[in-house]
Amino acid sequence: DEEVHFRQRVIEMDPLEEAEFEKELKALMQESLDSRKLELRARPTLNMAIPMNIFEGPTKDHHGRGGFEVESGDETLDEEPGGSKEVRVKVLVKRGSKQQTKQMYIPRDCSLVQSTKQKEAAELEE
């Protein structure tokens, strides 16, 4: 209930510091990539094992089979009419051998949702 108002604070960044940090970050990214390329010459087998029932929509209960659970999956995943700033998605994660989905909200302008939406739109038009 409490609001505090400030005069704008200007954060001064040291450009040298910033450049150095950026360099280290890039190096770490590259090193990570390189190590994987060397380490995994042989392509791994595909282990995505995505339970197809997840696409059937979450209105039904899915228990047991394939150790798959939908957590906190309730209504449909379509965004509310009027278009809020966020879109609800299911994040699919593995917990050991079990698979789980969790709901998350992603900003509508995130590339991740945009591509999906564009495709959907395109498919609808066809």
Partner 1 sequence: EETGGDDEGFEYGKGGYAEHACRYCGVTNPACVVRCNVPSCRKWFCNSRGNTSGSHIVNHLVRAKHKEVCLHKDSPLGETILECYNCGCRNVFLLGFISAKTESVVVLLCREPCLSVNALKDMNWDLSQWCPLIDDRCFLQWLVKVPSEQEQLRARQISAQQINKVEELWKTNPDATLEDLEKPGVDDEPQPVVLKYDDAYQYQNVFAPLIKLEADYDKMMKESQSKDNLTIRWDIGLNKKRVAYFVFPKEDNELRLVPGDELRLRYSGDAVHPAWQSVGHVIKLTAQEEVALELRASQGVPVDVNHGFSVDFVWKSTSFDRMQGAMKSFAVDETSVSGYIYHHLLGHEVEVQMVRNTLPRRFGAPGLPELNASQVFAVKSVLQKPISLIQGPPGTGKTVTSAAIVYHMAKQGQGQVLVCAPSNVAVDQLAEKISATGLKLNEQSSLVMIMLDLFNNEMWRLFQIKPNSTVADTATAVTEHQQRGRDKSREKGSAVAESATKGLVKVGRCGIRRGNRGKEQPRRRRLRVTCRKRCSRIHGTGAEEGEQVVRLSAKSREAVSSPVEHLTLHYQVRHLDTSEKSELHKLQLLKDEQGELSSSDEKKYKSLKRATEREISQSADVICCTCVSAGDPRLANFRFRQVLIDESTQATEPECLIPLVLGVKQVVLVGDHCQLGPVIMCKKAARAGLAQSLFERLVLLGVKPIRLQVQYRMHPALSEFPSNSFYEGTLQNGVTINERQTSGIDFPWPVPNRPMFFYVQMGQEEISASGTSYLNRTEAANVEKLVTTFLRSGVVPSQIGVITPYEGQRAYIVNYMSRNGALRQQLYKEIEVASVDSFQGREKDYIILSCVRSNEHQGIGFLNDPRRLNVALTRARYGIVILGNPKVLSKQPLWNGLLTHYKEHECLVEGPLNNLKQSMVQFQKPKKIYN
Closer to partner 1 by Cβ: residue 40 or 63:
40
Asked whether 51 and 92 are in contact (CB, 8 A), the reply is no
Residue 80 touching partner 1 (CB under 8 A) = no
Instruction: For residue 88, give the H/E element and its range.
Output: strand 86-95
Q: How far is the CB of 61 from partner 1 (least distance, A)?
A: 17
Taking the C-alpha atoms of residue 20 and residue 29, their distance in angstroms, rounded to an integer, is 14
The answer to the question of residue 107 lying near partner 1 (CB under 8 A) is: yes
What single-letter amino acid sits at 28? L
> Which secondary-structure segment (H or E) carries 115?
helix 111-125
Residue placing its CB nearer to partner 1 in the complex, 22 or 80: 22
Among 80, 105, 124, 126, binds partner 1 (CB under 8 A): 105
Of the candidates 101, 95, 97, 102, the residue with the CA atom closest to the CA atom of residue 66: 97
Residue with tokens 């066809």: 126
Does residue 90 bind partner 1 (CB under 8 A)? yes
Contacts with partner 1, residue ranges (CB under 8 A): 2, 4-7, 9, 11, 13-14, 17-18, 21-22, 24-25, 28-29, 32-33, 36-37, 40, 43-44, 46-48, 50, 54-55, 77, 86-94, 101-107, 110-116, 119-120, 123
